[in-house]
Structures are given as C-alpha cells and as structure tokens.
C-alpha cells in the first residue's frame, strides 16, 4: 500500500502532465485563433489552467501561500475577460466588420453618405 503523501505526489505529477498538455493546446488556439473572441476565450482558459498549476503545486509542496496567489490570479483573469468582452462589443458597435482574412476593418461610408461629415 502506498503512503498518503506518495499517492498525492503521484497524482500531482499526472495532473501537471495533463495540465501541460492542455496548456500547449490552448496556447495553440491563442496563436492561431481564427477570430478575436476565440483568442480571448483561449486566454481565459489559459488563466484557468495557470490557476490549476498553482493549486496543484500548492498541494504538492504544502505551501498555503500559493492558494492566495491562485485567488488573486482568478480575480485578475476575470476582470481581464470582462474588459476584453467590452472591447469586442465596442468594436462591433462602432461598425467594424470582419474581412475575409479574419481581421477586422472599419466600415467606410458609401460615396453619397453625408452622415459622417460636419456641416
């Protein structure tokens, strides 16, 4: 029979390996992303994975300060996600539209449109 600490240590190693694979796959989505909301969601997922790393290391090392760091990271990650979401919504409200390449471009007025001119 395994000692309890050895069992926790083995579970931590397996968990860190799984989190490492998830980190690599999510980083790929951040880089390739096709759209900006996909990248924002992937960054939020990376924050969750980082919190998981910190929590597993806290359990493995028995150092409780890491839990406080994970809580602070979760608060900052939540605020960053809300800020990015507001940014995406404000871009759509101003009339930006996606181009065929996935980048967003500003909408240009039609030749006879005088709505944007001062007069």
Q: What is the mean pLDDT of each run of 10 residues along the chain (119 residues)?
A: 86 96 96 91 96 95 93 96 92 70 57 57
What would the pLDDT profile of 14-48 be if each residue is shown by its tens digit?
999 999 999 999 999 999 989 999 999 999 999 99
> In terms of C-beta distances under 8 Å and separation of at least 24 residues, what long-range contacts does 36-45 make, across chains too?
36/88, 36/91, 36/104, 37/88, 40/81, 40/84, 40/85, 40/88, 43/80, 43/81, 43/84, 44/77, 44/80, 44/81
Residue 94, pLDDT score: 81
Residue 31, pLDDT score: 94
117 falls within a domain = no
13 falls within a domain = yes
Residue 119, pLDDT score: 47
Domain that holds residue 82: 4-95
48 falls within a domain = yes
Whether 70 contacts 115, CB under 8 Å: no
Q: What is the CATH number of the domain that holds 71?
A: 1.10.287
18 falls within a domain = yes
Residue 32, pLDDT score: 92
101 falls within a domain = no
Q: How many domains does the chain have?
A: 1
Measured distance CA(36)–CA(105) in Å, rounded: 13
49 falls within a domain = yes
């Amino acid at each position: 029979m395994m000692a309890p600490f050895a069992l926790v240590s083995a579970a931590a190693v397996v968990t860190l390996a799984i989190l490492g694979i998830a980190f690599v796959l999510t980083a790929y989505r951040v880089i390739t992303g096709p759209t900006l909301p996909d990248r924002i969601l992937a960054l939020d997922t990376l924050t969750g994975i980082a919190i998981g790393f910190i929590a597993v290391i806290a359990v493995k090392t028995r150092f409780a300060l890491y839990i406080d760091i994970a809580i602070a990271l979760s608060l900052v990650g939540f605020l960053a996600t809300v800020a990015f979401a507001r940014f995406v919504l404000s871009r759509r409200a101003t009339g930006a539209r996606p181009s065929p390449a996935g980048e967003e471009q500003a909408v240009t007025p039609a030749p006879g449109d005088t709505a944007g001119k001062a007069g």
